[in-house]
Structure 1
Amino acid sequence: MKDMKVIGDDRVTSIGMGTWGIGGRETADHSRDGESVEVLRHGLELGINLIDTAEFYGAGHSEELVGMAIKGFPREDIFIISKVWPTHFGYEEAKKAARASARRLGTYIDLYLLHWPVDDFGKIEATLHALEDLVDEGLIRYVGVSNFDLELLKRSQEAMRRYEIVANEVKYSLKDRWPEDSGLLDYMKRDGIALIAYTPLEKGSLAMNECLAGIGRNYGKSAAQVALNYLIWNDNVVAIPKAGRKEHVEENAGAMGWRLSKEDRERARRCV
C-alpha cells in the first residue's frame, strides 16, 4: 500500500485502525472478541499497518486483542500505538503501566502516548522522562502525547531531554476542525510532528452526509472516504477510524491512494 506517512523514522499507512470499544460481551453467552480480532487481522491483510490502542480501552482488554490479532504477521511491519492513562502519570507509575501494556500486547510498543493532559505539569514532565528512559530500555520506540493543545505541546517539547515528541493524537474531523483553526496543525506540520486524528467520522455521522456523498460520486468514493481523505490530504496527518467491521475497514482503506482536488476539498468543508 503506497499511501504512507511518517511517524518518527517509520512509514505508516495514512489510515490506521482504532480499537476504542472493540471486543467485549454483547450478551452473557456471546463474545465479540473473536470478531474484533478477525477485523484487525483483515485490516493487516489489506495492508493497513497502524493500530491504535490504550490501557484505558476495555481496562487493557483492547491491548490483549491487538496482541492476538498481530500473531503470525511480521512484527516489524506493524506500528502499534498505546497510551498511558493520567492516573498512571509519574516516573515510576508510567514505567509500570508501559510494562503492563507491553505484556498485554505481547510485544514492544512503537509509539507510547500520554493519553490526556493534567493540570500538574510536573507529572507530565516526569512521565515524559520515564518514556525517554523506556526508549533507552527498548520497551517503546517513540514518545508522543494526546489531546495536547499548542501551548502544552510546546511546553512538553521543551521538557524533553534526549528524544523528541513525534506525534500528538487529537480529535480532528471535517466537522471538528479545531487543529486547523488553533494553529496546532500548521505548527505540527512545520515541526515534523504527526497528527493522529481520532473520531475522524464523528461516530459515523459524516458517513451519512449527502453533500459529501455527492462529492464522492465524482471519484467513485463514499461520503466516509471523502471525509477521511480530507484529513490525510495533509502530509503529516493519519486518521484512525474504529475498526468495527470488516466492511468498514475495507471502506476505510479505500480512502487511501487518491486525493481530493483543492476545489472539492473546499466544497467538503462547506458540507458540514
Structure 2
Amino acid sequence: MRTLELSANEKIPVLGLGTWRMGEEPGSRKAEVAAVRTAIAMGLRLIDTAEMYGEGGAEEVVGQAIAEALRAGDVRREELFVVSKVYPHNASRKGTPAACARSLARLGLDRIDLYLLHWRGEHPLDQTCEAMRRLVDDGRIGRWGVSNFDTGDMDELAAVCGEPLDCAANQVYYSMSERGPEFSLLPWQRERGLPLMAYSPIDQGALAGDAALKKMAERLGVTAAQLALAWVVAQPGVVAIPKAVREAHLRDNLAAAELRLSAEDLAEIDRLHPPPRGKKPLAMI
C-alpha cells in the first residue's frame, strides 16, 4: 500500500480503519473486535479511534483486537500505527496527560502513535500544545496533532505553538461531496508537509448510492463507494480512515486504495462533484 510521510523518519499508509460508533453497544463488542482483527489480518496497519467513541468503548475494542492479534503473531506492535483523540474539555495542561493515561489503559498500550485534540474547546491552545509536547518527551505518544481545525485555527495554532509547527496531522471531514478543505486548508497543510486525515471519506456511505458516480464506477469495474474512496486517497497529502465492520467492505476498501485514476477520470469527477470556488465552513459530524 502507498504511504505518506508523517515526519522525516516515519510514514503512514494512505488507508486506515476508522472506529467511530464502535464500542457503543455491549452486544456488538464481539463483532467489532472481530472486524478490527480481520482488518489487521488483511494488512491494514493504521487504526483511528478516540476517547469520545463509545465513551472509551471503541478504544477497548481496538485494544482487545490488538492484544489478540499480537498474541496470535498476526502483527508486531511496531507495524501498527494507532491514533486516538482527547476530548476538548480534557485538553488542559493536567487534563491531557490524565486523559492520555486512561486511553492507554483502555488500549492496553504503552504508547499512542498519534494523539489528536478532537476539536477546539475551552482550554487555550498553548496549554494543549505544551501538554502534548510533554507526552511526546515522556514517550507516551509518538506525535501529536489536531482534528476539525480549519485554516484560521491552524494559523492560530502555528502562532501560539511556533513554526516550524510540530503538529503532525489534522483530521477533518473530507470527501468527494465535502470538498471544502481544498480551498484553503489543504493547500495550507501541503505547503507545510502536514498530512490531512480524511474521516467519512465516503460521506458516511451516501456516495455509495450516488447515481452518476455509480455509472462512472461501472465503467471502471468498481463500486461507487470504491471510486469515492480511491479519489480521496489519490489526493496528495491525504490519508483516508473509513469505518468498516463487514469483511466485504474491508476488502473493497483495500482494493480501492490500489485503484489508479486517470486525468480523465479526475476531470469527470470534478464535473460530478465540483471543487469549491470559495471558502466554506469546515464540515463536522
In 1, Cα distance between equivalents of 2:29 and 2:243: 15
In 2, Cα distance between equivalents of 1:100 and 1:13: 26
Aligned to 2:105: 103
Number of equivalent positions:
264
Kept in 2: contact 1:23–1:31 (CA 8 A): no
In 2, Cα distance between equivalents of 1:243 and 1:128: 32
Q: Name the SS of the counterpart of 1:67 in structure 2.
A: helix
Matching residue within 38, 42, 51 for 1:46: 42
**TM-score (normalizing by structure 2):** 0.88
Q: Name the SS of the counterpart of 1:188 in structure 2.
A: helix
Matching residue within 98, 108, 117 for 2:120: 117
**TM-score (normalizing by structure 1):** 0.92
Tell whether 2:204 aligns with 1:203: yes
Q: Cα RMSD between the aligned structures? A: 1.7
Tell whether 2:166 aligns with 1:167: no
Instruction: State the Cα deviation string for residues 212-244 of structure 1 (Å, max 9, x = none).
Output: 222223332111111111111122101111122
Per-residue deviation at 1:163? 6.5
Aligned to 1:21: 21
In 1, Cα distance between equivalents of 2:270 and 2:27: 39
Q: Name the SS of the counterpart of 1:235 in structure 2.
A: coil
Kept in 1: contact 2:48–2:241 (CA 8 A): yes
Per-residue deviation at 1:15? 1.3
Counterpart of 2:10 in structure 1: which amino acid?
A: D
Tell whether 2:70 aligns with 1:74: no
In 1, Cα distance between equivalents of 2:24 and 2:51: 15
Identity %: 37
Higher alpha-carbon deviation: 100-109 or 243-252: 243-252
Structure 1 runs not aligned, ≥5 long = none
Aligned to 2:244: 243
In 2, Cα distance between equivalents of 1:10 and 1:213: 36
Aligned to 2:182: 180
Counterpart of 1:267 in structure 2: which amino acid?
A: E
Counterpart of 2:181 in structure 1: which amino acid?
A: P
Counterpart of 1:134 in structure 2: which amino acid?
A: L
Q: Name the SS of the counterpart of 1:20 in structure 2.
A: coil
Q: Name the SS of the counterpart of 2:256 in structure 1.
A: coil
In 1, Cα distance between equivalents of 2:165 and 2:231: 31
